[in-house]
Amino acid sequence: MKCSRLVSYFERLEITSKRLELFSILADLFKEVTVSEIDKVIYLLQGELLPPFHGINIGMAEKYLLRAIAKSGDIDANDLLKKYRQIGDIGKTAERFCRGAASLALTVSEVYDAIYQIAVMGGEGSVDQKIDLLSSLFSQLSPVEAKYVARFVAGKLRLGVGDATLLEALALSKGERAFRASLDRAYHLTSDLGRLAKIFYQSGKDGIAAISVRLGFPIRPALCERLSSPDEIIEKIGPCVVEIKYDGFRCQAHKRGNDVILFSRNQERTTPMFPEIVEAIQTIFAGQEVILEGEALAVNLITEELFSFQVTMQRKRKHNINEMAKNFPLKFFVFDLLYLNGIDYTHFSYTDRRKKLAELIPKNQVITLAESVVTEDTYSLSRLFNETVERGLEGLVAKRPDAPYTAGARNFNWIKLKRSYKRELTDSLDLCIVGYYTGYGHRTKFGIGTILTAVYDKEEGCFKTVSKIGTGFSEQELIDLSARLSKIISHDKPREVDSEIVPDVWVMPKYLVTVTADEITRSQNHTAGRDATGAGYALRFPRVVGFIREDKGPYDATDVSEVISLFNMQKQVKME
C-alpha cells in the first residue's frame, strides 16, 4: 500500500469521533492492506514502531525533529523554531515547511522501515545520522505525509483508536463480529496486535485459535473483582484459596535460556529495576523456561515488615538501583505459574498451578510463594481478613480453586477484599488526567491548581470525567506534574475524552493517579456513567494518594462499570 493511501485514511480517522464510523473506516483500510503490511499498519495506527515490550521506541526529541524538517525544507533552524512556536503542532509545521516530493512514491513498508532504521541507530554520531535520514525521508514525502510522519516520530500521532477499537475493526474487516472473542483471547495472551493481525490475515480463525502463551511476550494480567464482605465472597465462589494482597509492583517474569525479562502490569520492560529477582530466577530455574507472576515488594529482612508501595516504587528512578537494592531489599511474592518448559499453564486450575509452584520454589532469600490459606467458610475468611488488617496490610485476594488464568480479564475468579471496604468508599480508583486548571493564589507558581480526571468506558472506548481534584500533591509533585503535562498538552478536547467540563488546559490521556474519596455521588456535571436523566457519577472530597502510577497506562484506568458497582456497594454498606 502506498503511504499516501494510508495517510488518506488517517485524515478520515482524524475528523470523526463516532465509534461506528471509526470501525468502518478501519475495516475498509484493513481490507485494502496486504498480509505483508498489516502488522506495520497496525503499529503505525497505534503510534508505535512495535509494542512497548519490545523496547524499541522512536521517541525523537522535538529539537532534532525540527532540525530534520529545517534541513529538508532549506529553512533556518531558528526561524523554524519560531514558526513552530506560533503553529504549536509539529505535524502542521512539517506539512508547511518540508520541501516535499512531487510524486507519491513511497509504500507503507518503505516509510516504516526507514523510521525503524532511524530508531535503532545508536552510538557515536548517531544523532546527526538520524537527522540526516529523517530529513531525506521528509524529502520523499508529500506535505500531508510529512505531517503524519512528524507526529508519529514525535510520539504525537494520536488518532484516537485504542486497542479495543482495532480488535473490533479487525473482526469486522473479515465480516464477522463473532471473531472478536477469539481475537481478544489471543491478544490477551501475547499483547502484540500487529503480530495477531498478521496471523489472522495469513491463517484466519484457526491461526488465531492456535495462538498460545509465548516466552518474551507479556501476558495481559488477570484482574480482581471486588466484593464488600467475606459473606458475599463465600456465597459467590464457595470454599476458596485466600492470599494476602501485597501492595507492591506486579511483575511478570519470563525466563528463556538464561535470559530473564521482567514486565510491569502494563507490559513494559522493567528488568533493570529488579536485578535481585533476575538473579534469583536464573539460579532457581537453571536449565528451565518459565513464566511467573507475583508482586515485588520492599521488605525489612529483619522484622519481615512489608514496606509501602511508595517505598517499592522508588526503584522506578533508573539511577542508584544497586544502592536501593541494598537499602530496601526486595522479595518477589509469586502467586502464579503461567508457563513451564513448553507447557502453557494458563489452562490449568489455580490449585494445580499453585501446587506446581510449591514444587518448583525452594526456600531462598528473594522468591517466596504468596502466603495462602484454603478457607471453607465465612468465619475463617473474616478471621483471616481481620488478622491481615491488624498486620497493616492492604487486604486479601480470594481465588476460585478450579479457575484457569483468565488473561486480561476482570472477573470473579479472583476477588479482592480491601481494608478500606470498612469505610464508606470501598476502594481507591485509578483515574486518568485529561486536563487541568492553572490555579490561583500561591498555586499559580506551579502552573497547576486542580486536575480534571476521568474513568475509562470500555464499552464506548472513551474517557469520561468523574472528578476535579486539587488535594494530595506535594509542592514538588505539582512541579513534576506540571513538567510532564506540559509535554502532552492538547489544543482541543482530545477525541477520546467525553467531557462537558472545560478545563483551562486539555492534556492527552496518558497519566493515571490513584484517588480516594469520601463517597461516590450522582452528579449532573460529570459524564461518567451518565443515565437517561443526565446524571453521572462524581467523587466527594477526592484526594490523590501517591503520585503518577508509572505501572499503569491510560486504558488501565478504573472502568465506569467499576464506579457504578462501587456506588452500589456503598449503598449496601449504608443500609447495613
Min dist CB 268 to ligand AMP, Å, is 14
Q: Give the CA distances from residue 340 to residues 38, 285, 286, 344, 354, in Å, rounded to whole numbers and listed in that order.
A: 32, 10, 12, 7, 13
The SS3 of residue 205 is helix
Q: Based on CB atoms, which residue is closest to ligand AMP, 419 or 443? A: 419
Looking from the CA of 515 toward its CB, the CA atoms found within 13 Å total 32
Min dist CB 390 to ligand AMP, Å, is 18
Given a contact cutoff of 8 angstroms between Cβ atoms, the answer to whether 402 and 351 are in contact is: yes
Q: Based on CB atoms, which residue is closest to ligand AMP, 179 or 332? A: 332
Interface map 318-357 toward ligand AMP (x if CB under 6 A): -----------------x----------------------
Span of 87-95, 131-139, 245-253, 499-507 interacting with ligand AMP by CB under 6 A: 245-253
Min dist CB 255 to ligand AMP, Å, is 20
The SS3 of residue 254 is strand
Q: Based on CB atoms, which residue is closest to ligand AMP, 146 or 241? A: 241
Residue 495 contacts ligand AMP per CB under 6 A: no
Interacting residues with ligand AMP between 281 and 300 (CB under 6 A)? 295
Residue 265 contacts ligand AMP per CB under 6 A: yes
Annotated active-site positions, please? 245
Residue 268 and residue 262: Cα distance in Å, rounded?
A: 8
Interface map 197-236 toward ligand AMP (x if CB under 6 A): ------------------------x-xx------------
Interface map 402-441 toward ligand AMP (x if CB under 6 A): ------------x-x-------------------------
**CA torsion, ordered 265, 266, 272, 275, to nearest 10 deg:** 10
Q: Based on CB atoms, which residue is closest to ligand AMP, 90 or 397? A: 397
For ligand AMP, the nearest residue by Cβ is: 250
Residue 549 contacts ligand AMP per CB under 6 A: no
Task: Work out which of 245, 255, 354, 464 binds ligand AMP, going by CB under 6 A.
Answer: 245
Residue 87 and residue 91: Cα distance in Å, rounded?
A: 10
Residue 274 and residue 300: Cα distance in Å, rounded?
A: 16
Span of 169-177, 239-247, 269-277, 337-345 interacting with ligand AMP by CB under 6 A: 239-247
Min dist CB 52 to ligand AMP, Å, is 18
Return left, alpha or beta for 323; rule: phi > 0 is left, psi -120 to 50 is alpha, else beta: alpha
Span of 92-100, 240-248, 276-284, 352-360 interacting with ligand AMP by CB under 6 A: 240-248
Can you say whether the dihedral through the CA atoms of 166, 167, 169, 173 is positive or negative? positive
Residue 464 contacts ligand AMP per CB under 6 A: no
Min dist CB 414 to ligand AMP, Å, is 6
Q: Based on CB atoms, which residue is closest to ligand AMP, 132 or 232? A: 232
Residue 559 contacts ligand AMP per CB under 6 A: no
Can you say whether the dihedral through the CA atoms of 230, 234, 237, 238 is positive or negative? positive
**Selection from 375, 417, 379, 380 nearest residue 396 by Cα:** 417
Task: Work out which of 97, 246, 345, 463 binds ligand AMP, going by CB under 6 A.
Answer: 246
Min dist CB 477 to ligand AMP, Å, is 21
* Total binding residues toward ligand AMP, as defined by CB under 6 A: 15
Min dist CB 418 to ligand AMP, Å, is 7
Beta strand pairing call for 410-418 and 223-226: parallel
Cα-flanking dihedrals φ and ψ of residue 10, to 5°? -55, -40
Give the residues across from 560 on adjacent strands: none
Min dist CB 333 to ligand AMP, Å, is 7
Min dist CB 224 to ligand AMP, Å, is 5
Residue 238 and residue 376: Cα distance in Å, rounded?
A: 7
The SS3 of residue 116 is helix
The SS3 of residue 259 is strand
Interacting residues with ligand AMP between 98 and 137 (CB under 6 A)? none
Span of 244-252, 255-263, 374-382, 502-510 interacting with ligand AMP by CB under 6 A: 244-252
Min dist CB 265 to ligand AMP, Å, is 6
Span of 2-10, 168-176, 243-251, 451-459 interacting with ligand AMP by CB under 6 A: 243-251
Q: What is the DSSP string of 382-419?
A: HHHHHHHHHTT--EEEEE-TT----TT-EEEEEEEEEG
**Selection from 502, 513, 509 nearest residue 478 by Cα:** 513
Beta strand pairing call for 462-469 and 497-498: parallel
Min dist CB 82 to ligand AMP, Å, is 46
Residue that the C-alpha cell 509501602 belongs to: 308
CB atoms closer than 10 angstroms to residue 110: 14
Span of 118-126, 241-249, 341-349, 360-368 interacting with ligand AMP by CB under 6 A: 241-249
Residue 45 and residue 194: Cα distance in Å, rounded?
A: 10
Residue 252 and residue 249: Cα distance in Å, rounded?
A: 10
Task: Work out which of 243, 276, 496, 559 binds ligand AMP, going by CB under 6 A.
Answer: 243
Residue that the C-alpha cell 490477551 belongs to: 188
Residue 80 contacts ligand AMP per CB under 6 A: no
CB atoms closer than 10 angstroms to residue 488: 17
Q: What is the DSSP string of 469-519?
A: E-SS--HHHHHHHHHHHHTTEESS--TTEE-SS--SEEE-S--EEEEE-SE
Interacting residues with ligand AMP between 359 and 378 (CB under 6 A)? 370
**Binding site residues, ligand AMP, CB under 6 A:** 221, 223-224, 243-246, 250, 265, 295, 335, 370, 397, 414, 416
